[in-house]
Amino acid sequence: MKVETAEFIRSAHGSGDYLHDGRPEVAFAGRSNVGKSSLLNRLLGRNGLARISSTPGRTQAVNYFLVNRRFYFVDLPGYGYAKAGKEARREWAARVEGYFRERPPGLVVLLVDGNVGATPLDVQAYEYLSGLRTAVLVAATKVDRISRGRWAIAVRDIRKALNLSEEVPIIPVSARSGVGIKELWGAIAPHLEASTR
């Protein structure tokens, strides 16, 4: 995908804020610190567009980025920062559920740390997402931290932990090295054609 333009449009904090202009949307979800902002910047080829913070949990809003004036990348709040367990999942679901209810995106990219593996919160997030009428794919982040020979193992472990069927792609990516970015774009692109409604 050639990114000609990428611009931050708005932070939405609740219903009334969400955009409904008919453009396709791809939403990005994952726990705080998984590398979501870094990956968005890398996908868009814009350093610093999605703010990278070493302080996890700072972005609690739904952030819209308009790409090539044609579709949106939607940066969802990260989960699992302040609280653990059920409470954290409920809080995250409450924050994103308005967004998903109003207009489910054509695709959700769920980010799972390729080095850490799927946490119980990732499992719960996937369960939540798989109950929606939206396609999901998984990106295993920060794979520059593991040797290439272990990628298949990391991917297999994530598939097992999330109980993913073989149809759901898991794409190893690194925002740092750029590996997997082309493949991730390749998996996203079909959803940009299909989801105009």
Choose between 28 and 99: whose C-beta lies nearer to ligand GDP.
28
Return the bridge partners of 75, or none: 28, 63
The CA-based dihedral angle spanning residues 2, 151, 118, 44, taken in that order and rounded to the nearest 10 degrees? -10
Task: For the segment 121-150, give every residue that binds ligand GDP (CB under 6 A).
Answer: 141-142, 144-145
Residue 53: how many CA atoms within 13 Å on its side-chain side?
10
Report what 195 binds from Mg ion, ligand GDP, none; CB cut-off 5-8 Å by kind: none
| Closest approach of ligand GDP to the CB of residue 192, in Å | 22
For residues 130 and 167, is the Cβ–Cβ distance under 8 A? no
For residues 17 and 103, is the Cβ–Cβ distance under 8 A? no
Those residues whose C-beta lies under 8 Å from the C-beta of residue 191, and which sit 6 or more positions away, are: 24, 26, 106, 107, 135
Binding of residue 176 to ligand GDP (CB under 6 A):
yes
For residues 92 and 77, is the Cβ–Cβ distance under 8 A? yes
**Beta strands at 107-113 and 135-141: parallel, antiparallel or unpaired:** parallel
Choose between 34 and 66: whose C-beta lies nearer to ligand GDP.
34
Q: For Mg ion, which residue has the nearest CB?
A: 37
Binding of residue 56 to ligand GDP (CB under 6 A):
yes
Report what 150 binds from ligand GDP, Mg ion, none; CB cut-off 5-8 Å by kind: none
Report what 174 binds from Mg ion, ligand GDP, none; CB cut-off 5-8 Å by kind: ligand GDP
Residues shown for the chain: 197
Site for Mg ion (CB under 5 A): which residue of 24, 26, 37, 135? 37
| Closest approach of ligand GDP to the CB of residue 184, in Å | 12
Binding footprint of ligand GDP, residue count (CB under 6 A): 20
Residues that bind Mg ion (CB under 5 A): 36-37, 59
